[in-house]
Amino acid sequence: MNILLFGSSGSAGGSVLRACLASPLVEEVRAIVRRPLPLVHDKLHVFVHGDYLDYTQVTDAFMHVDACLFCLGISATQVSGEPEYRRITHDFALAAANTLRAHSPTAAFHYISGQGTSLNSRFMWARVKAETERELIEGFDAVCWRPAAIDGEASESAPWVYHFIRPMFRLLKPFRSLYVAGEDLGRAMLQATVENVHGRVIENAEIRDIAERARTATR
């Protein structure tokens, strides 16, 4: 598979990147980033790009793609308000999905959302993510992933509090609805692509189930 990846410098995206590079299913990973990645790998092709609403300068990255794994995101605590959060969470994702459809119309689109996402939530982030999920599913038959606590890569872009609570995430490992290893999230996305999953939401416990199927399939 040829994979297009967003958010590879983040905690979740960095883990997904490593899962893709380790997978025998993946021939090439194309990572769209704002700054060069420190990681070098034979499978990895990095596209440095600054405008996440206009991809005309990097259309090659979107051609002959089997799946786009959209792991780009930001905490609501790291933005000035809803307009900025909506631009990053909603607008960037829709722009990527539209460009993918234009250049690889049969490719799967996978979007990392979050546990607690709901149109009726009192939290702004949950409503914006729910709107984004709805538009991606209705318009692009996307798969929307709702992980709980992601035990992912260390990332400079993560909220400062994340660096303190991350070591505690593994205490939640026995609880299938509350914890997922970052690389398992990547394995699950790849497996869902192989299984031709489309147009639905996948919650944390099922993410772990799919990741276990992926490990079994590659043994």
pTM here is: 0.92
Listed in sequence order, the residues at least 6 apart from 187 whose beta carbon sits closer than 8 Å to its beta carbon are 19, 23, 210, 211, 214, 215
pLDDT in tens, 120-129: 999 999 999 9
pLDDT score of 152: 78
Per residue in 29-60, pLDDT tens? 999 999 999 999 999 999 999 999 999 999 99
In the chain, beta strands by DSSP E:
2-6, 28-33, 44-48, 67-70, 108-112, 143-146, 149-151, 179-181, 200-203
pLDDT at residue 158 above 80? no
SS3 assignment, position 187: helix
Q: Which of 195, 158, 168 is nearest to 71 (CA)?
A: 158
pLDDT of residue 175: 79
The SS3 of residue 81 is coil
Domains of the chain: 2-217 (3.40.50.720)
pLDDT in tens, 80-115: 999 999 999 999 999 999 999 999 999 999 999 999
Q: Which two tokens stand for residue 196?
A: 């031709």
Please state, in angstroms and rounded to a whole number, the distance separating the CA atoms of residues 103 and 61.
9
The 10s digit of each residue's pLDDT in 166-214 is 566 667 777 799 999 999 999 999 999 999 999 999 999 999 999 999 9
C-alpha angle 62-37-140 in degrees, rounded to nearest 5 = 30
In order, the DSSP letters of 99-115 are HHHHH-TT-EEEEE--T
Report yes or no: 71 and 12 within 8 Å, Cβ to Cβ: yes
